[in-house]
Amino acid sequence: MPHAVEATPPALARLVEFVNTRRADGDVIGTPEQLTSWLRAHELLSGGTADTTARHRAEGVREGLRALLAANNAEPVASPRPDGLNPAARTELAALTAALPLTLDVTSTPPRLVPLTAEPVDHALAALLADVATAVAAGTWSRLKTCREPSCRWAFYDHSRNRGRTWCSMDVCGNRVKVRASHRRSAAR
């Protein structure tokens, strides 16, 4: 009997979508207006709007999350890389989390982490960080990864049984890697 593919938990799907707002064809949250629109579309912002400072914080959170997801794909993030992965992203995320505090809401069942800040965009960013903590507690965090293909870096949820998927798509990125390896082997002969 075939193995059923587990669905991506909604909070993790939202994290994947947030990390994937930076794409080869542009940045979906590249302006304060675009960030405001994205946060509203994902039910993270009901009032208020983003300004340039909030947009920069959102970019820092996004790239920090991308670095964390790269680490889930057994990739080092502490050294400079030629593929554009920002080695300082985790450090910047650590600094940003101090401004995006969470608290444990014991009045909800089950208790959950909730944003402590009242500023609307920071509240939304803290909610995304709460999703990370929830995923860690649920044991699903390690399934969130970024594609190892240097030209891609797309975030994805690893549905594989052994959690061994390394590319966002075997048909596209996985194939690119295998073709390059084949060319290198042919050239070495």
Average pLDDT, the chain: 84
Instruction: Give the pLDDT confidence score for residue 84 in this predicted structure.
Output: 43
Region 42-49 average pLDDT: 94
pLDDT digits (tens, 9 = 90+) for 101-158: 999 999 999 899 999 988 999 999 999 999 999 999 999 999 999 888 877 888 999 9
Nearest one of 154, 144, 188 to 174, comparing CA atoms: 154
Degrees (nearest 5) of the Cα angle 31, 156, 115? 55
Structure tokens at 112: 């959950």
Under the banding of pLDDT at 50, 70 and 90, the label for residue 83 is very low
Nearest one of 24, 12, 7 to 145, comparing CA atoms: 12
Say how far apart CA 90 and CA 137 lie, in whole Å: 20
Please give the model's pTM, rounded to 2 decimal places. Answer: 0.82
